[in-house]
Amino acid sequence: MTRERRRAHHALTHRSIGHQRPLELEIRIAASHAGARGISSLSVADWAKRFIDEKKRSGVRPKSIAKIGEAVNSFVATCSARKVQLMRDVTADEFHAHRDDLQTKRKNDPKTIYTKSIILKEFVRAWCDADPAEPRNPLARVRLREVRSPKQPAPPIDQLKDVVNRTLGDEREVLSILLFTGCRVGDVLRLRAADVDLKRGWITFGSTPHGDPKKHGLVRVPVHPKLLPILTARLQSRRGDELVFDNGVNSEGRQKPLPERRVNAAVARSAEAIGLPVGRRLFGLVAHSFRHGFKTYCINQGVPQFVVDAWQGHAGDGSASSMYYQLTDDESQRQMKSLTF
């Protein structure tokens, strides 16, 4: 091999490794230690366990791990029913049979089937990448048509305020933060005392290890004057790294976050009490509806969309205006105080 060809081969090798997904690279390294023979002879169930474990080690959030586990383990069951035990024997037939099963027997909606299919394509591709002896990906030619979720309604701000007023306990304060910030419910449940600056009037979402679930960064939202007394009272007994909302401590003495299902259950009880539909399938109220309602209310009240996008951690639309616009702290505070709620 000539020097030029060696350089080209070296560059190509390092480029391909550098562009691999972290999970696939980790599994490839593990495969080199375990030996190609071990990977080639893995059962579908064993690879599913390894795949999920790698996801956990890479820092994927528990809620996402649960969705991945459900998608992968149900595929394992389909393969077992079709007498396919080893990963090397998996074909596109198993994939399509599983999708049919999700639709006919499990009654999954199109969006859920699409999401699970994406997970399964990664599941199979990761195994192919981990096995040097496996030259083909049986799902490489499978093309999926993207399915978008139906647009959820944005409840009027008065309805959301009514729901908050009918809610009791910690859940009422969680909903109050959702009402006045438009953040995600998970952001509130991961909020720590150090993330709230009452003196300067800011809440910083996404500073926990997992970060913001969509942007993986920090989002700063001004504290509305009506939210200030609620946070002040709440933080009197909270310090530094302590969760603003907790559900006791675990066996190691660490705080457990308030479960999101409790917040959604509280929303459902309060919404039903005033005759509102509940749940996504009925296009009814859920905790995430506060995010939709907040954005709609702000824009209808004259707050520029660029400002609301910054508060909610949404990316711009790619236009020159959204890329050039810079929101100052003073303007952000002024826009928040202009809202009367």
Residue 227 shares a structural domain with residue 316: yes
Cα–Cα distance, 335 to 302 (Å, whole number) = 9
Write out the residue range of the structural domain in which residue 173 sits.
Answer: 157-337
How many beta carbons lie within 10 A of that of residue 208, not counting itself? 17
Helix pair 289-300, 305-312: axis angle to 10 deg: 150
> From residue 206, how far is each of 190, 277, 280, 311 by CA, in Å?
8, 31, 25, 12
Cα–Cα distance, 230 to 178 (Å, whole number) = 12
How many structural domains compose the chain? Answer: 2
Reported as a single tens digit per residue, the pLDDT across 105-129 is 989 989 999 999 999 999 999 999 8
Residue 185 shares a structural domain with residue 329: yes
Residue 29 shares a structural domain with residue 110: yes
> From residue 167, how far is each of 161, 196, 272, 290 by CA, in Å?
10, 23, 12, 14
Cα–Cα distance, 94 to 252 (Å, whole number) = 43
Q: How high is the mean pLDDT of the chain?
A: 87
Residue 80 shares a structural domain with residue 221: no
Residue 85's pLDDT band, with cuts at 50, 70 and 90, is very high
Residue 136 lies in a domain: no
320 has a pLDDT exceeding 90? no
Q: What is the CATH number of the domain that holds 113?
A: 1.10.150.130
Residue 3 lies in a domain: no
Residue 197 DSSP class: E
Residue 226 shares a structural domain with residue 325: yes
Q: Which residues pair with 220 in a beta bridge?
A: 204
Q: Are 285 and 162 in contact (CB under 8 A)?
A: no
Q: What angle do CA 92, 95, 98 make, to 5 degrees?
A: 150
Greater pLDDT, 301 or 130: 301
Residue 314's pLDDT band, with cuts at 50, 70 and 90, is confident
Cα–Cα distance, 140 to 123 (Å, whole number) = 12
Q: Are 185 and 260 in contact (CB under 8 A)?
A: yes
Reported as a single tens digit per residue, the pLDDT across 17-52 is 334 455 555 555 454 444 545 677 899 999 999 999
Residue 305's pLDDT band, with cuts at 50, 70 and 90, is very high
Residue 8 lies in a domain: no
Residue 235 shares a structural domain with residue 172: yes
Cα–Cα distance, 19 to 64 (Å, whole number) = 23
Residue 148 lies in a domain: no
Residue 298 shares a structural domain with residue 198: yes
Residue 137 lies in a domain: no
